[in-house]
Amino acid sequence: MTAPLLEIRNLGKRFASRQGREAATWVIQGLSFSVPDGEFLTIIGPSGSGKSTLLNMIAQIDVASDGEILFNGDNIGVLDQKSLKPGLDRRVGYVTQDDNLLPWRTTLDNVLFPLEVQGRLDDKARARAESLIKAVGLSGYEKYYPHELSGGMRKRTSLIRTLVYDPPVILMDEPFAAVDAQTRTQLQEDLLRLWEMGRKTIIFVTHDIAEAVALGDRTLVLTKQPTRIASEHKIPFGRPRNVKDIFALPGFAQVYESIRAEIQ
Amino acid sequence: MTAANDVVSSAAPAGPLISQRALIILGRCVFAGLLLWAWQWSANEFGIIFFAPPLAVVQRLYEMAISGEMFFDVWATLRISMVGFVIALVAGLILPFLLRLSARLTEAVEPFILWSQGIPKYALAPWLILWFGIGDTPKIVIVVLMVFYVIFITTFAGIRAVDRRLINMARIMGANETVISREVIWKSMQPFFYAGLKVALPRAVGACIVGEFLVSTQGVGYYIEHSRELSDTVGVFAGIVLATTLVLVINMIVEKMEKAALAWRPVDRT
């Protein structure tokens, strides 16, 4: 296997203690893993295990207290607020738990936003945005404001807003947590379909075991605080996958159970 | 009788919303009528020296409009309030955006700005006249001082209220600070901005009129003060009506702008 695209070494995060409280505790400590190019990695952990904090540090909107992150073999400074480069020069995209759409922009203008701020808004980029909007079934809603869309539609908009500028690594923080089960399955299928087209490197964080197994090539299980990697599971299913039928596949119950046993 | 019944029955399916609206308008008319009656009653009771009757005021406004004096005075007041307003607006907007770039500078400067707000601006008038003479400048300075704090404080609050997650999102996508200021912060603080405008604009006109009481040879404030000196109460009232109308028209324009700018907000789409 070639050198990993992204490597996390001994990452740690400690929050400054508030006045009148005991010494700061480590939320994350000694956490290491690496991700090869083109892998769909899912990370699963109990709630409060610092999953969002981990992604915030990889996206460089939050400083780490210890350890290092390597991108393409280069050490990127993560310990000092001043050296942080959010999004690592557009190489790391981030689909957050909340859709974070700009409420004063329509669906189309939200999708075009990253291209606009990057000064890459040409006809080719517009065509790409249009085709992504079509691919996730948002045609006809281009002129709607976020508050006029359903939760699932806002998620799709937020997803393709990151896909549109094509970052090589995409972080996803429980992007489908807040929608109903049926919409979630649909969104998962949309995501896999879009991923099959481009095969980006994805780090997908969730607390839903079935989701982690259905989407990932590999699943990492996190411990409780201070968070480390508890175990690693290869997902034995091929591609392309059908999210709806994944439960019926032989081996699903076994993987599911072994992950469930790991989560305290 | 039949016709009246028909009207009632055909109006009924339109729903309670229409009649609700009609009721509100009726209520407003009744209220306006009561106010006018109280005005007329006061004029009768206290005499024309203390209370100008409404009809005499209307007559005076008509004369002022015919002679062109009205437009001359309104323009004088409008010009000074707007010059002062624009200066205060630019300063009150730019300063918080600059302070945003340095948390330490903000912490150092903010208390001074807030303390200086405590200075009673009109108390500075004699000193301003000493410095700038009796031309437009002291009035413009008073307007600037009265408006600046409103814009500065609302802008500052607006910047602080911006959702951090939206800023982080824009940063990750490669937006620089200028783009973030323009596309995220400025856009999301629009409700604050318009709230500030609605307080600041009437203040600008009010400050200008008080300025004109003190030093001027033209403007609505001058007209009111000059009429008082001549014991012309009708003139005083006409000036007050004129000033009120000016503020109302300005407010209507701001509200139209706000509606257009905040069309994306669910609350404004009734």
pLDDT 10s digits, B15-67: 566 688 889 999 999 999 999 999 999 999 998 888 899 999 999 999 999 99
| Pairwise CB contact (< 8 Å): A100 & B166 | yes
The CA R_g of chain A, rounded to the nearest whole Å, is: 19
Which pLDDT tens digit goes with each residue over A136-193?
Answer: 899 999 999 999 999 999 999 999 999 999 999 999 999 988 888 888 898 999 899 8
Best of A53, A63, A96, A104 to disrupt the B interface (most B CBs within 10 Å) is A104
B204, B81 Cβ separation under 8 angstroms: yes
What B122-126 contacts at long range (C-beta under 8 Å, 24+ apart), as own/partner pairs, is: B122/B210, B125/B211, B125/B214
Answer yes or no: is pLDDT of A262 > 90.
no
Partner residue facing A86 (CB), from B168, B179, B266: B168
Q: Architecture of domain B71-268 in CATH?
A: Orthogonal Bundle (1.10)
Segments in chain B forming alpha helices (H): 2-11, 16-46, 54-67, 69-100, 103-116, 125-132, 137-160, 164-172, 177-179, 186-188, 190-214, 220-229, 233-261
Contact with chain A for residue B165, Cβ under 8 A: yes
Partner residue facing B173 (CB), from A98, A147, A165: A165
Domain boundaries, chain B: 15-42+53-67, 71-268
Which pLDDT tens digit goes with each residue over B156-185?
Answer: 999 999 999 999 999 999 999 999 999 999
**Which chain A residue's Cα is nearest to B188?**
A104
Q: What percent of chain B has pLDDT over 90?
A: 69
First-residue to last-residue Cα distance in chain A: 32
| Pairwise CB contact (< 8 Å): B264 & A103 | yes
Answer yes or no: is pLDDT of B6 > 70.
no
| Pairwise CB contact (< 8 Å): B266 & A100 | no
Nearest to A45 by CA among A181, A200, A204: A204
Which pLDDT tens digit goes with each residue over A189-228?
Answer: 989 988 988 888 999 999 899 999 999 999 999 988 888 9
Measured between beta carbons, the chain A residues lying within 8 angstroms of B188 are: 102-104
Band (B196; pLDDT cuts 50, 70, 90):
very high
Which pLDDT tens digit goes with each residue over B208-236?
Answer: 999 999 888 999 999 999 999 999 999 99
Q: With the C-alpha atoms ordered B30, B36, B42, B44, is the resulting torsion angle positive or negative?
A: negative
Higher pLDDT, A18 or B85: B85
Answer yes or no: is pLDDT of B125 > 70.
yes
Q: What percent of chain A has pLDDT over 70?
A: 96
Q: State the pLDDT at residue A245.
A: 85
Domain boundaries, chain A: 99-166
Chains A, B: CB pairs < 8 Å: 60
Partner residue facing B174 (CB), from A61, A87, A100: A87
Averaged pLDDT of chain B = 89
Answer yes or no: is pLDDT of B268 > 80.
no
Q: State the pLDDT at residue A20.
A: 59
Which pLDDT tens digit goes with each residue over A97-135?
Answer: 899 999 999 999 999 999 999 998 999 999 999 999 998
Nearest to B143 by CA among B220, B73, B210: B210
- Of A236-240, A258-262, B10-14, B148-152, give the range with the top mean pLDDT: B148-152
DSSP letters spanning chain A: -PPPSEEEEEEEEEPPPPTTS-S--EEEEEEEEEE-TT-EEEEE--TTSSHHHHHHHHTTSS--SEEEEEETTEEEP-S-GGG--TTTTTTEEEE-SS----TTS-HHHHHHHHHHHTT--SHHHHHHHHHHHHHTT-TT-TT--GGGS-HHHHHHHHHHHHHTT--SEEEEESTTTTS-HHHHHHHHHHHHHHHHHH--EEEEEES-HHHHHHH-SEEEEE-SSSB-EEEEEE----SS--GGGGGGSTTHHHHHHHHHHH--
Q: State the pLDDT at residue A80.
A: 86
Averaged pLDDT of chain A = 89
Answer yes or no: is pLDDT of B13 > 60.
no
Closest-CA distance of chain B to residue A147, Å:
7
Judging by beta carbons within 10 Å of its beta carbon (0-12, 13-18, 19+), is residue B220 exposed, middle or buried?
buried
Q: State the pLDDT at residue B2.
A: 42
Higher pLDDT, B61 or A47: B61
Total-model pTM: 0.84
ipTM value, please give it: 0.90
Contact with chain A for residue B183, Cβ under 8 A: yes
Q: State the pLDDT at residue B269.
A: 46
Measured between beta carbons, the chain A residues lying within 8 angstroms of B176 are: 117
